[in-house]
Amino acid sequence: MNWIEVNGAGTRYALDGEGAIPLVLIHEMGGAMESWEPLLPEVAEGRPVLRYDMRGFGDATKLRGTAAMDELVADLVALLGALGIERPVDLCGMAMGGAVALHVAAWHPERVGRLALMAPALGIAPERRDAVRERADAIEANGMAWLAESELQLTYPDLLRANGRFDVYRARWLGNDPSSYAATYRMLVELDARAALAKVRRPTLVLAGAHDPLRPPDLVSEAAAQIAGARFEVVPSGHVMAHQSPDIVAEKLHAFWRAS
């Protein structure tokens, strides 16, 4: 793992492997580059793989107030430039990382070859926005432990915890900076992904988790339908599917890479 300063912020990253087409993995809200470790052995063979801590999470620069999608997009574009990655990359994002990947593909299409989105964050329904703003303020005031039981039941339900990885995931999740988590929630309240969905013109795979109450398949399917030519599939997993069901996710990804 390495440290780098890009776009006015510091972050950790790992760039491993060799090959023609780089793969960039973007983690979920509350995650870190370690979120990809269960999936990494399944997707790393024969290509360079870049993981990094998104601003606000892991060991990256923290957030205050309200996060900004254009800043998160600029962070990744700057990181690719700093590492000398000039050719189009395959982007793979999970949940909040899926939102970043989506917007990079929409705003910087020359940077992207293929796009894989796992339960991508798309914004907050109007009727829930006030409640989410209140939730963000409460997280900032009370800390991550206050939120843990309700949030983790949504993102990592009991039926997906038998793989033995949940305890480590929970411990790392509890180490999140509450203000950064709240700032990201506030950004989601203002996020409207419709324009980005309509602009994407790259081969795209969209995955939904059958056991994801936070972003259920019907909602993800509606978003996938707005991306020209996108392939949509439901997998027997949850919100952080790359961590919960890496074998299944890897199978879907490899089939997508081969087909496109």
> What tokens appear for 181 in the block?
């988590």
For the chain, what percent of residues have pLDDT higher than 70? Answer: 100
- Rounded average pLDDT over 103-131: 97
CA-CA-CA-CA torsion sign (174, 181, 112, 258): positive
Alpha-carbon gap, residue 58 to 151, rounded angstroms: 18
- Rounded average pLDDT over 9-23: 95
| DSSP code, position 95 | T
Beta bridge mates, 5: 10
For the chain, what percent of residues have pLDDT higher than 90? Answer: 97
Question: Is there a contact between 23 and 47 (Cβ–Cβ < 8 Å)?
Answer: yes
> What tokens appear for 122 in the block?
């798309």
**Strand locations in the chain, DSSP E?**
2-6, 9-16, 23-26, 49-52, 89-94, 112-118, 204-209, 231-235
Amino acid at 185: Y
Give the confidence band of 10 by pLDDT, cuts at 50, 70, 90.
Answer: very high
What pLDDT score does 45 carry?
83
> What tokens appear for 212 in the block?
């994801």
Helices (H), 6-91: 40-43, 69-82
DSSP string covering 141-167, please? HH-HHHHHHHHHHHHS-GGG-TTS-HH
**What is the architecture, at CATH level 2, of domain 2-259?**
3-Layer(aba) Sandwich (3.40)
The reported pTM is 0.97
pLDDT tens column, 64-112: 999 999 999 999 999 999 999 999 999 999 999 999 999 999 999 999 9
Beta bridge mates, 205: 116, 231
Question: Is there a contact between 178 and 64 (Cβ–Cβ < 8 Å)?
Answer: no
pLDDT tens column, 179-197: 999 999 999 999 999 999 9
Question: Is there a contact between 88 and 110 (Cβ–Cβ < 8 Å)?
Answer: yes
- Cβ-based burial of 170 (10 A; exposed 0-12, middle 13-18, buried ≥19): middle
Is the confidence at residue 1, as pLDDT, over 90? no
- Cβ-based burial of 44 (10 A; exposed 0-12, middle 13-18, buried ≥19): middle
The pLDDT mean for the chain works out to 97
